[in-house]
Structure 1
Amino acid sequence: MTRLPFLSVVIPCWNEAGFVADFLDSVLANDYPADRLEILLVDGMSDDGTREIVQKYAEAEPRLRMVDNPGHSKPVALNLGIIDSRGDVIIRLDVHAVYQNDYLRRCVQGLMAHPDADNVGGTRRAEPRDDRLLSRAVSLANTHPLAAGNAKYRIGASSPKWVDTVFGGCYRREVFDRIGLFDERLDRTQDLELNQRLRASGGKILMIPDIVCTYYPRGDWREFVTWTYRSAYWAFRGSRTVGRWIGSWRNFVPLGFVAGLAGATVLGPGSKFVRQVAGTVLATYGGIVLVSSARIAAREKDARLLVAMPVVFFATHVAYGIGSAVGILEPDGEQP
């Protein structure tokens, strides 16, 4: 068997007391050779008990180190971890997920088996954070094409695919030597920007669908809407910041939907044609949402989802569309 390279696991973290123990249990249970692995949890000076939990794990586990990140910026955390790491391969993990015990090894083996790949990732399966109907609906929407578009790491694939981005990512160290680190100006979407920069330099990103982690999306209504809004905002604001488009065509679909709704609201009262077009579009949209929701409710054997799923789908599209518009139109120098 080919000797695996030394692997550095880099984890940005801030105030994750409710998730960090389960997360670390899953990472430390991975079957990657212990003498070829280091785990750097870069903490933004958490004040909710996260640091105490991590410190207890670090005292019992020599592979784990906690690195301080004053200011809790995520791209700064990633860069601090990369700079402080020793690995020939660097993998980024998210605290809001748990990982199968072969996740690390299989990501690295994916790089080794595909010399033309610079970044490898797997499928991000979604599970609800709690037993509430909203949490369940959000997790189901998270991996449905109606909310996720064609993002393969969310909706899955039948075989390995070359993609524009993956969840987390397992990189050859020389990628950062070649194209630089994460852009610290980007509060969000710094991974999209790095991966776009990687592809622009001739690099390739591979998604291997049977490498699996389980992600716990935000199930509180306000958190869910805010997270969706900010994801859209930073795709467009981040593109303005770096001076080039860093997203995908799928980012424009909710923007078009919300722009159409706004246009119909303004022009509809004075134009029968606009009202007819808007009515047709909304009827088609409603039909697609209802059919999709009915299929989910039938598959999950829960009739309540026939009501919850349309609400979550509509909220996703509207929040994402508004966030996109603000990201485009907001004057320079102003950020939420």
Structure 2
Amino acid sequence: MRARLATALGAILVATAGSALAQAPTAAPAGQKPILRPFGSVPLMVPPSSDAPRDCDDACLKGLAQQYMDALVKQDGSKLPWADRVRYAENGVTIMVSDGTWATATAKGASPLIVADAKAGKAVWIGSVDEHGQPGFYAIELTARGGRIVSVQATIRRQQGRPPFGDPIAFTHDPAFSATVAKGKETPRAIMSGLVQAYFEAQGGKSKAPAFGKGCVLIENGVPMTGNLPAAKGESGDCATSFSRGLFGEFEAIRRRIVAYDDARGLVVVSGVRDLPGATTSFTGSDGKGYKSEADYPRSFGFVTVFKIEGNAIARVESIATELPYLMPPPWQEPRGPRP
């Protein structure tokens, strides 16, 4: 199977941050397969799509995300409209398209949340995939230029590892994420950006928490959260309560960037990494109570979070997060995100 993918795709390998982008290869001699080159060298590439470049609006970007996911579970990306230079990463590591979930995914969730932002050239797909029958939470950040896929960053949270981890099959996105805003009542991007940035600044203890709507719950990997811990029995994971109690004391830094806005639905997608140094085994919340740390070792968490904004408040928050080595750098430097 891997050999088939390598032949079909030309073994796309993305460059690490600061190194050269992938370039089209010299044709292999007849009867020979393309050579897989190791990290650090100029990798081989699939030939670019022959279609003429075109502008890609929101519908086009959503279509690309769906095409990508369809190809992923078929383990065959040979018909996707790749650019002539492509980057690809999973859980922060640059790899070949023929590896990772391209070699293991066998099915995908039927009801993903897809956010597209033509101004940024981004599409985000949030749902689940099966790897040989084992379901996991899954998200991609796809970047396109002229209707061709330039880069993809995938985040997958498998069952193995520390909590939280819910049921990817049973989990459904809150209906609020699909609800559109009345025409003319859209929240300006500057306000949405301000709310989201205040959310992360407050998690880091650097500012006051933003306003939260009634019924706002922090959901991570399908599980209601109170701070950095799954909500205990009888607790709701209420957004305002988690912040008022100061339950994010383990966080050292939250590196993040806004990936996409959906003005019609009032959505903001953020990708980033939370750094937890593990220097202490407990912390004191803003309520004055002591809390045990979630774990006793240094670690980071890569995350993709989608916010639902209603008016001047955060109404819903859903995240996929997976553990990474402490202070793990991004696979490459993304251009500045969409401006408010």
Question: Is this a same-fold pair by TM over 0.5?
Answer: no
TM-score, normalised by the number of residues in structure 1: 0.26
Instruction: From the two aligned structures, give the one with the greater helix fraction.
Output: 1
Instruction: From the two aligned structures, give the one with the greater strand fraction.
Output: 2
TM-score, normalised by the number of residues in structure 2: 0.26
Between the two structures, name the one with larger relative contact order (CA 8 Å, sep ≥ 6): 1
